[in-house]
Amino acid sequence: MRYISLVLLASFISISAFNGVAAEPSAKGLEIAQERKARDRGWNNSEAKILMVLRNAQGQEATRKLNVKSMELTDDGDKALTVFQSPRDVKGTAFLSFSHVFDADEQWIFLPALKRVKRIASKNKSGPFVGSEFAFEDMTSFEVEKFSYSYVGDETINGEACFVLEQIPQYDYSGYTLQKVWIDKSHYRVHKVQFYDKKGALLKVLELKDYELYKEKYWRPIRSEMTNVQTRKSTSLITESLIFDTDLSESDFDKNSLKRAR
C-alpha cells in the first residue's frame, strides 16, 4: 500500500566516510542503513499517481491506477492513504496504513459498496497486495529498527558502485528470512533487493530504476519492478506524477478521510 514508501525504500543518503578501516560487518551495515534513513528525513508529504502493471508467466498484462498520499512522521513510521482508480470494480477502495517502528503496523481497508471500514490483521503483511508481486510489507516505510544488518561487500550495478547489505526482518510475521540490498555509494539509493523466502530460497527480485531528484534532496525511482523468480510473474510500479509539500495534514490520514477518499 505504501507505494510511496516503496519509493522511499529507494531513496538515500550518504554516510560519513569509513576512514579505510574495516568495521564489524554488522556495525558497518547498521551505519549504512542509518545513513540511508537519515538522508531521506524531512521530505514532509507527497501525493503520487501510480500505474501498476501486473504480468503473469505467460506475459498477459493487467493494469491498476492508484493515488497515493503519504506523510512523514518524525517520531514514528509514516502514514499512507492509497485509493484505487481502476479497475473500475474496485474504484474507491482505499487502504490506510500507519507504519510503526517498534509496534505492528496498523492497516484498514474501506469498501465503498458497503461503506464499510475493515481492520486488516497485522499478520496479513506477508500476503500479496491486490494480486501483485508486492507484499504489504514491501510497501511500508523503511525504518532502521525493522531489520538487523550485515555489510557483505561492494558491487557495481547499473554503473553505480554499491554497498551490499544483508538485512533480516526483526518485526513479526514477515514472509522473508533475508533481504539482500544494493545501495549506491554516491547517494545511498537502493538499486536492487533480493527477497529470500521462509526456506531460504530466492523468491523475488526488486529493481528500482530511473531515479529523479525532488526538492533538491530526495531521490525517487520512477520505475520499480518486482519479479517473482519462482512463478515468473512480475509487477511494475510506474510513477506518473509526484508532488511534494501539498496541503496534507494528519487529519487526511484517519478512518474518516478513508471513508471519503476518492
Partner 1 sequence: MTKSIALLVTSITASFSLLANTEVTGSAGGELRYFLQDALYEAQERAYGSVFFSPETYTEWNDGEDSLLFKPFFRADQHDEDRTHFDVRELQWMHVADTWETKIGIGKVFWGQTESIHLVDIVNQTDAIEAVDGEDKLGQPMVNVSYFSDFGTFSAFVLPYFRERTFESVDGRLRPPIAVGDALYESDGEQSHVDYALRWQASISDWEVGLSYFSGTSREPELVTTVNDEGQPEILPYYAQINQVGVDLLNVYGAWLLKFESIYREGQSEDFAAVVTGFEYTTQGIFDTQYGLGVLSEYQFDEREDNFFALGQNDLMVGLRFIFNDIDGTEVLMGYVQDLDKSSTSSAFIEASSRISSHWRWKLDGYFFSSDDTDDTFYFLRRDDHLQFTLEYFF
Site string for partner 1, 170-209 (x = CB under 8 A): --xx-x----------------------------------
Q: Which one of residues 123, 213, 240, 245 is an interface residue with partner 1 (CB under 8 A)?
A: 123
Question: Degrees (nearest 5) of the Cα angle 83, 89, 93?
Answer: 25
Nearer to partner 1, 48 or 130 (CB): 130
Q: Which stretch binds partner 1 (CB under 8 A): 16-24, 110-118, 140-148, 161-169?
A: 110-118
Contact flag: residue 216 with partner 1 (CB under 8 A): no
Site residues (CB under 8 A) for partner 1, limited to 24-43: none
Residues 70-89 binding partner 1 (CB under 8 A) are 86-89
Using the minimum distance from each CB to partner 1, give the nearer residue, 117 or 152.
Answer: 117
Considering only 20, 21, 241, 260, the residue that binds partner 1 (CB under 8 A) is: 260
Cα–Cα dist 241/7, whole Å = 13
Binding status of residue 119 toward partner 1 by CB under 8 A: yes
135-174: contacts with partner 1 (CB under 8 A)? 172-173
Q: Which one among 33, 130, 181, 242 touches partner 1, defined by CB under 8 A?
A: 130
- Binding of partner 1 by 127 (CB under 8 A): yes
Residue ranges that bind partner 1, judged by CB under 8 A: 54, 56, 60, 62-63, 86-91, 103-104, 106, 114-117, 119, 121-124, 126-128, 130-131, 172-173, 175, 231, 249, 251, 254-256, 260, 262
